[in-house]
Amino acid sequence: MSKKYYSIGDASKFTEVNIETIRYYERIGLLPTPDRTAGGNRQYAPAHLKRIGFVKRGARSWLFHRTNQISAHHDGPAKTVLCSC
């Protein structure tokens, strides 16, 4: 059984994650370094695509949670704003 590999462009399309974001995930260690072709192109295995999706979901969840925390801290209790028109 041969493995199927994806280019970074295909991985980006499949996971809906920007190419530069995929490279960033790799640089900071969230994504294992993929194999490369003789020409130096990255070859992403299906396991890489699953990891990219996992990181993407985690980032969304964290961002949503963190944004709510920051908003609650910054805004305090809801305030009524009156127009001085």
Q: What is the pLDDT of residues 7-43, one digit of tens each?
A: 999 999 999 999 999 999 999 999 999 999 999 999 9
In the beta sheet, which residues pair with residue 6? Answer: 44
What domains lie within the chain, and their CATH numbers?
8-75 (1.10.1660.10)
> pTM of this prediction?
0.70
* Helix (H) / strand (E) containing 39: none
* Contacts of residue 55, Cβ cutoff 8 Å, sequence gap at least 6: 25, 30, 31
